[in-house]
Structure 1
Amino acid sequence: MQILHVQFVLFIITLLDNAVHQAVTAAVDGAVDANYVLDVADNSFGCTTYVRLARKAGLDKTLFNGKGPFTLFAPSNDAFTPDFLAQLESNSTLLNDVIRFHAIDGVIVTVKDIHKNDYLYPSCLANVSVRTNFYIEGTKVGVYMASGAFLTNGDYKADNGIVHYVINPMYPIPDTNIAKYIETNHTFSILCDVIKSAGMIGPDLFRVLEGGNYTLFAPTNEAFQDMQPGELKKLLSNHTLCWHTILRHMMNGTYYSEGVFDDQPELSSEGTYLHFKHDYQTDDSWQVEGIPVIEGNLSKTNGVLHVVHHLIPEPSMIKNKGCQN
């Protein structure tokens, strides 16, 4: 995690520099023109794409010119890939929603406040909250995140709020819980059968995955179909085996890819260790227990979901932590 070590040190230095710079500027300039959150995003962080899109949606005049206060998570220009940008440019509703979701309404949230892990703040998009997370690698590195977006700079003050800089977008927008997402997606139909079987000996895991704060490594149908002949039928007929299989793919709390570390195992809801490995040098891919994550960081209203095409093998049991109630 050499890269994260350097980023964290630079992050702290930058925060101190920001405070000094803004204090000196205020003292020298005295009264100045209004400096709103979009102005800070543009002039201090160079988030020209986000600002342009906000103006295209008319939100510079109908939202961000208000007194707020707003906490804006301004995405870097690189956060807008060509495909993502094309989606936004061609869909005015999606554009409006994405721009609004990157701002917290009525609350100033500083970097220090993000130490409240799995805390939900109301965004400017109605009925959708921004989730903040703070992860620590040992005692060395702190990683700050907002709905899956990696915060690398922040606490820039504006006349109507505060601005943080994130290097990836807060997307997809969490519009449903984990349980509903897998129930309505045919890719996970066998997973749903396993969850139903597990519920025969314990709490209904669909109900569990409707609330709380959870991470689910969701095996696709392909993952179950890759089992040895007869093994899937054996699994579905064994409620205890189904129970342990599901809990092994769950974690209590919300863990995005940047919140798990190569040298730091985390507990599954089963009470077993999960080990992770990232490839930061090439394509930023990552694995859990040697299983590649095919699609990760899918934010949900009660946590995050990562898609895997293989089942996580049974590791050594260390203690029965169980799932949250």
Structure 2
Amino acid sequence: MEIWKLSVVCGILAAFHAPSQSECPPDCTLLEWAEIYDLVTFITIVEKLTLFDEFTEGVNKTLFAPSDLAFNKVPKDVLESWKHNPSLLKNVLFYHVSHELWPSKRFTDGAIITSIDESGIIVNVYKSNLAGPINTVNGAGIQHQDIFATNGIMHIIDSVLYQFPSPSIFYFVANCGQCSTFLLALSYSDLSDDLTAGNWTLFVPNNEAFDKLPDGVLYNLLNNITLLDDTIKNHLVQGVYYEIALRELTYIENVDKRNLTISIKDTILMVNTAVVQEADKPTYTGVVHIIDTVLLLPIDTRGKK
């Protein structure tokens, strides 16, 4: 069936709400569903790379299709580099495709989906106040899931997926220009090795956060390893919590069983009194959120050790 005909069938319905499979023809391919959901940028890329067969024929596959909003979040210089490098653009697109069927009922927290290029896409599943759990892939939220096509399944996501640039949280911190003071603190502590493996969420104070500390606090931390370790642990959470999951919480427990307060102030994500300035820095051992305030323990604020 031609794409334009399917679009007409669901056009009126889509104007009021997202189409459902009970409302649209049952014999849609992945590309036809992309047309129905008005994934203009995705379809344009498929046309540019002449990959029609990949999304209309062949073996069953899973497609994590970025919405137009997702592509709009990509920096302009990155988009330009993709436009002028078809090979790179194809790699980006194929990172969103697996030759395995992954309906949402298969999603488990920490599951790894193998993409066409043998890279890993990490699934996280979070409890929420909504009817069902929140599912993410590499931190991207799934806007519409389980769209069954004749040649696979499509999930529409709100961010473009990138291959993980950092193999570990420690590697990210070591190469983050605005995190050098926290890196110094890590080098004095006994926790560096812990961040090279596992599944963690780390709230990293940037250099400006340390500059705001009262005189003598950083010196005291660096000269008291027990206190330093406890302070770093105050920023560390077991498990991977992207922003989409944090916004569902009122508090989160760190590795020392202390509660960190999570709040939203004028749409801005807060952890205790710290503003999350840059969220969702993904690595293979978890996620980093850069914050503007050091999360000191109460004992520190009283000037005691």
Residue 38 of structure 2 is matched in structure 1 by 46
2:277 and 2:291 in contact (8 A); partners too: yes
Task: Name the amino acid aligned to 1:111.
Answer: S
Residue 96 of structure 2 is matched in structure 1 by 102
| Structure 2 portions without partners, runs of 5+ | 1-16, 300-305
Name which of structure 1's ranges 50-59 and 146-155 shifts more when overlaid on structure 2: 50-59
Secondary structure in structure 2 of the residue aligned to 1:50: helix
Partner of residue 184 from structure 1, selected from 175, 178, 189: 175
Secondary structure in structure 2 of the residue aligned to 1:107: coil
Say if 1:41 and 1:227 are closer, same or farther in 2 by CA, change over 3 A.
same
Q: Percent identity?
A: 24
- Counterparts of 1:151-166 in structure 2, within 5 Å, are 151-166=142-157
2:74 and 2:160 in contact (8 A); partners too: no
Residue 113 of structure 2 is matched in structure 1 by 121
Residue 204 of structure 2 is matched in structure 1 by 218
- State the alpha-carbon separation in 1 of the partners of residues 49 and 289 from structure 2: 31
Secondary structure in structure 1 of the residue aligned to 2:279: strand
2:65 and 2:155 in contact (8 A); partners too: yes
C-alpha displacement of 1:102: 2.0
Residue 225 of structure 2 is matched in structure 1 by 239
Task: Name the amino acid aligned to 2:222.
Answer: L
The RMSD of aligned alpha carbons is 2.7
- Counterparts of 1:270-285 in structure 2, within 5 Å, are 270-279=256-265, 284-285=267-268
2:73 and 2:159 in contact (8 A); partners too: no
1:225 and 1:232 in contact (8 A); partners too: no
Partner of residue 55 from structure 1, selected from 39, 47, 50: 47
Say if 1:39 and 1:117 are closer, same or farther in 2 by CA, change over 3 A.
same
Residues 1:296 and 2:279 are matched in the alignment = yes
Secondary structure in structure 2 of the residue aligned to 1:137: coil
1:272 and 1:315 in contact (8 A); partners too: no
- State the alpha-carbon separation in 1 of the partners of residues 264 and 235 from structure 2: 18
Residue 234 of structure 2 is matched in structure 1 by 248
| Structure 1 portions without partners, runs of 5+ | 1-13, 27-31, 200-204, 317-325
1:276 and 1:290 in contact (8 A); partners too: no
Structure 1 runs of 4+ off > 3 angstroms?
A: 17-22, 57-61, 63-66, 138-141, 261-264
Residue 11 of structure 1 is matched in structure 2 by none
- State the alpha-carbon separation in 2 of the partners of residues 311 and 245 from structure 1: 9
Residue 80 of structure 2 is matched in structure 1 by 89
C-alpha displacement of 1:263: 5.1
Residue 193 of structure 2 is matched in structure 1 by 207
1:289 and 1:313 in contact (8 A); partners too: no
Post-superposition CA distance 1:244-271 (Å, at most 9, x none): 1111111111101111246532211122
C-alpha displacement of 1:51: 2.1
Q: Give the TM-score normalised by structure 2.
A: 0.81
Residues 1:143 and 2:143 are matched in the alignment = no
- State the alpha-carbon separation in 2 of the partners of residues 264 and 37 from structure 1: 38
